């Protein structure tokens, strides 16, 4: 699955795969200039959307929300990794 994602990112000139100079069997995945620019655009858009959505919260409330969402995301990630272990 990761290969398909990398193929797509490479096809859009966002990343480049190149041989690892320390291990010719391995590849390094590096951002292209296009990828770096796009990442900057996405980060700015995300920050703007977050600022709009959290505008009515205090800084403390916003930080608490981020912490709680992070914990929920960690639980969801564990469930994806080991779904059978999460069943009651």
Residues 42 and 30 in one domain: yes
Residues 48 and 82 in one domain: no
Interval 6-28: pLDDT, tens: 999 999 999 999 999 999 899 99
Q: What 3-state class would DSSP assign to 28?
A: strand
- Residue of 25, 32, 27, 26 whose CA lies nearest to 11: 32
Residue keyed to tokens 């409330």: 61
Query: What residues make up the domain containing 72?
Result: 56-88
Q: What is the pLDDT of residues 38-81, one digit of tens each?
A: 999 999 999 999 999 999 999 999 999 999 999 999 999 999 88
The total number of residues written for the chain in this structure: 88
Distances (CA, A) of 36 to 32, 56, 66, 76: 6, 32, 25, 29
């Amino acid at each position: 699955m990761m290969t398909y994602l990398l193929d797509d990112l490479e096809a859009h000139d966002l990343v480049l795969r190149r041989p690892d100079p320390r291990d010719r069997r391995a590849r390094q995945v590096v951002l292209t200039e296009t990828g770096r620019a796009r990442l900057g655009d996405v980060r700015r858009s995300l920050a703007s959307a977050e600022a709009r959505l959290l505008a009515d919260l205090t800084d403390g409330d916003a930080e608490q929300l981020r912490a709680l969402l992070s914990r929920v995301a960690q639980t969801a990630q564990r469930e994806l990794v080991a779904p059978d272990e999460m069943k009651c």
